[in-house]
């Protein structure tokens, strides 16, 4: 059992949990993820590590309440426990002095991007950061990321804060030289950023979030096509060369259980999970 030490609401339906997990905190690195199981009957939910502190024996992860399990997770409070957490899983991000790094984060993935930016900043990189969300109310960690960045941009889909959409990035890329781009967020955002950086030959690393089951390379559910080769998101990733990813296939595969997910979410909304907690 893993105790939740603190709960922070970062934005509507986006929460950050700090959890006591000393054995994971000791080994965790930026870019890795964990598998959370709420209770004995729970499914495995992959979530990216957003913070770790080996000294305190804690890790933190942020999640968006999008379906049954993440909504259920959202009902937990400080002092509650989750049944199991496995990790750290996946390969750590490559962190070294690249030079000028463009970091683009969207939605809930702004949380693990802060960890990434801290590491890039500490290794001497000049970070240019972009945080984006559908609407301004879903933005968070702006001040924290700005403090570590040489330049800082905000974009929203509806233009309610900062630039409207990521189109402005085309001008930024035309005017400034970058040695690397790191992108975390929804697939359409990763695809757009990769399309923008490709003509400039900027190595672009994207974090993929295919549906996963075991997270350890055994089930094959997390298959993605990268450069025409089949890769497993969990053990070969989760980071891949953004210019080589087959995004259309990824989007299709992410939707393969949509009817079941919708039903499960609806049943949860109607009656909870039977554990006494709505």
Ligand X SMILES: Cc1cc2nc3c(=O)[nH]c(=O)nc-3n(C[C@H](O)[C@H](O)[C@H](O)COP(=O)(O)OP(=O)(O)OC[C@H]3O[C@@H](n4cnc5c(N)ncnc54)[C@H](O)[C@@H]3O)c2cc1C
Taking the complex as a whole, the smallest distance from the CB of residue 33 to ligand X amounts, in Å, to 4
Nearer to ligand X, 63 or 153 (CB): 63
Provide the binding-site residues for ligand FES, judged by CB under 6 A: 212-215, 217-222, 232-234
Residue pair 107/136 in contact (Cβ under 8 Å)? The answer is: no
Query: Is the backbone of residue 134 left (phi > 0), alpha (psi -120 to 50) or beta?
Result: alpha
Distances (CA, A) of 253 to 30, 185, 263: 26, 17, 18
Q: For residue 65, what are its two tokens?
A: 């309440």
Nearer to ligand X, 88 or 238 (CB): 238
48 binds, among ligand X, ligand FES, none (CB under 5 to 8 A by kind): ligand X
Nearer to ligand FES, 145 or 208 (CB): 208
220 binds, among ligand FES, ligand X, none (CB under 5 to 8 A by kind): ligand FES
* Torsion sign (Cα): 220, 224, 226, 229: positive
Q: What does the alpha-carbon distance between residue 129 and residue 182 come to, in Å, rounded to a whole number?
A: 10
Give the gyration radius of the chain's Cα atoms: 18
Q: What does the alpha-carbon distance between residue 245 and residue 224 come to, in Å, rounded to a whole number?
A: 8
Looking up tokens 């989750």 gives 82
Indicate the angle between helix axes 247-254 and 187-197, nearest 10 degrees. 180
* Torsion sign (Cα): 200, 201, 207, 210: positive
Taking the complex as a whole, the smallest distance from the CB of residue 253 to ligand FES amounts, in Å, to 12
Nearer to ligand FES, 10 or 234 (CB): 234
22 binds, among ligand FES, ligand X, none (CB under 5 to 8 A by kind): none
217 binds, among ligand X, ligand FES, none (CB under 5 to 8 A by kind): ligand FES
47 binds, among ligand X, ligand FES, none (CB under 5 to 8 A by kind): ligand X
Taking the complex as a whole, the smallest distance from the CB of residue 235 to ligand FES amounts, in Å, to 6
Taking the complex as a whole, the smallest distance from the CB of residue 35 to ligand FES amounts, in Å, to 9
Nearer to ligand X, 129 or 250 (CB): 250
Looking up tokens 């079941």 gives 260
Taking the complex as a whole, the smallest distance from the CB of residue 21 to ligand X amounts, in Å, to 15
Nearer to ligand FES, 43 or 214 (CB): 214
Q: What does the alpha-carbon distance between residue 224 and residue 254 come to, in Å, rounded to a whole number?
A: 10
254 binds, among ligand X, ligand FES, none (CB under 5 to 8 A by kind): ligand X
Provide the binding-site residues for ligand X, judged by CB under 6 A: 33, 45-48, 61-64, 66-70, 108, 112, 209-212, 238, 254, 258, 261, 265
Taking the complex as a whole, the smallest distance from the CB of residue 210 to ligand FES amounts, in Å, to 8
Phi then psi for residue 102, to 5 deg, are -95, 120
Query: Strand pairing of 45-53 and 2-11?
Result: unpaired
């Amino acid at each position: 059992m893993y105790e939740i030490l603190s709960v922070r609401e970062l934005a509507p339906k986006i929460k950050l949990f700090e959890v006591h997990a000393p054995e994971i905190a000791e080994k965790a690195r930026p870019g890795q993820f964990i598998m959370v199981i709420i209770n004995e009957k729970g499914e495995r939910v992959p979530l990216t590590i957003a913070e770790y502190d080996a000294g305190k024996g804690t890790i933190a992860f942020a999640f968006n309440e999008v379906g049954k399990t993440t909504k259920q997770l959202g009902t937990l409070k400080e002092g509650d426990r989750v049944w199991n957490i496995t990790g750290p899983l996946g390969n750590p991000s490559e962190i070294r002095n690249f030079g000028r790094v463009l970091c683009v984060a969207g939605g809930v993935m702004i949380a693990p991007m802060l960890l990434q930016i801290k590491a890039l900043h500490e290794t001497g990189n000049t970070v240019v950061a972009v945080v984006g969300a559908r609407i301004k109310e879903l933005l968070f960690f702006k001040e924290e990321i700005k403090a570590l960045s040489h330049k800082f941009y905000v974009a929203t889909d509806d233009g309610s804060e900062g630039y409207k959409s990521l189109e402005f990035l085309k001008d930024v890329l035309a005017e400034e030289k970058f040695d690397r781009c790191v992108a975390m967020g929804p697939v359409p955002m990763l695809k757009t950023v990769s399309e923008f950086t490709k003509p400039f030959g900027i190595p672009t690393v994207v974090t993929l979030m295919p549906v996963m089951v075991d997270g350890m390379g055994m089930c094959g559910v997390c298959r993605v096509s990268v450069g025409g080769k089949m890769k497993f998101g969990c053990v070969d990733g989760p980071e891949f060369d953004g210019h080589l990813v087959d995004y259309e296939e990824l989007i299709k595969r992410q939707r393969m259980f949509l009817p079941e997910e919708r039903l499960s979410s609806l049943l949860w909304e109607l009656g909870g999970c039977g554990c006494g907690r709505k």
